[in-house]
């Protein structure tokens, strides 16, 4: 639980990038895609044999506290997270991009923490009914307040489904590319784009 709380604290760092994107879209996108590239490269580097350098050992020690124990691709989730936010602001209107990013940052974190702490009814794989309900409710509040209730309802439904999709591909050959950190903002952004004027 403590490891997951640390991970979700990093997840909440996405708020900082949303603020930066509002101040300067170009700067925000540059930072997000640069960080995404770093995460993609570092997840390969960190799997190499340990170095004797003290700084390297310290970085590895901290880094491994922030990744799930059952993952074969450390930091690939972080890559998709920062890339997902950046991609949303690159392809969607700013209001829709903001909603998509907030759902990824806030709803996904809340559902994970609530699911771990209070989830007692399994839904699919590691997901619980309690966690998915919190995801749906929080994404509904965010999207309804910023866009409109009808769009918000449709958005939260598809975003919740997008969060569940990776659970169906746990044993797939290329399961690493089926990540909710990219599926959630894409699904929510696309639905909001189609329904924003309803």
Contact 169, 193 (CB under 8 A): no
pLDDT at 51 over 60: no
Max avg pLDDT among 9-23, 70-84, 86-100, 106-120: 86-100
The predicted model gives 175-190 an average pLDDT of 90
Beta bridge partners of 122: 128
pLDDT tens, position by position, 121-162: 888 778 999 999 999 999 999 999 999 999 999 999 999 999
The percent of residues in the chain predicted with pLDDT above 70, rounded, is 79
- Report helix angle 76-91 to 25-45, nearest 10: 160
Contact 195, 154 (CB under 8 A): yes
Local structure of 192: helix, strand or coil: helix
Q: Return the residue matching tokens 């879209």.
A: 25
pLDDT confidence tier of residue 71, bands split at 50, 70 and 90: low
pLDDT given at position 99: 97
d(Cα 75, Cα 43) in Å, to the nearest integer?
5
Local structure of 151: helix, strand or coil: helix
């Amino acid at each position: 639980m403590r490891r997951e709380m640390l991970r979700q604290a990093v997840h909440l760092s996405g708020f900082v990038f949303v603020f930066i994107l509002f101040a300067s879209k170009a700067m925000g996108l540059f930072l997000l895609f640069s960080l995404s590239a770093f995460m993609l490269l570092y997840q390969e580097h960190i799997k190499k044999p340990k170095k004797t350098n003290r700084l390297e050992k310290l970085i590895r020690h901290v880094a491994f506290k922030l990744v799930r124990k059952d993952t074969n691709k450390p930091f690939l989730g972080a890559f998709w997270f920062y890339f997902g936010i950046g991609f949303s602001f690159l392809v969607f209107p700013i209001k829709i991009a903001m909603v998509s990013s907030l759902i990824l940052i806030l709803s996904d974190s809340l559902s994970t923490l609530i699911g771990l702490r209070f989830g007692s009814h399994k839904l699919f794989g590691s997901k619980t009914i309690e966690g998915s309900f919190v995801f749906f409710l929080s994404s509904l509040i965010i999207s309804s307040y910023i866009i409109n209730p009808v769009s918000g309802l449709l958005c939260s439904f598809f975003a919740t489904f997008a969060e569940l999709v990776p659970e169906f591909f746990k044993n797939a050959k290329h399961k690493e590319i089926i990540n909710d950190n990219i599926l959630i903002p894409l699904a929510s952004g696309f639905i909001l784009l189609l329904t924003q004027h309803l």
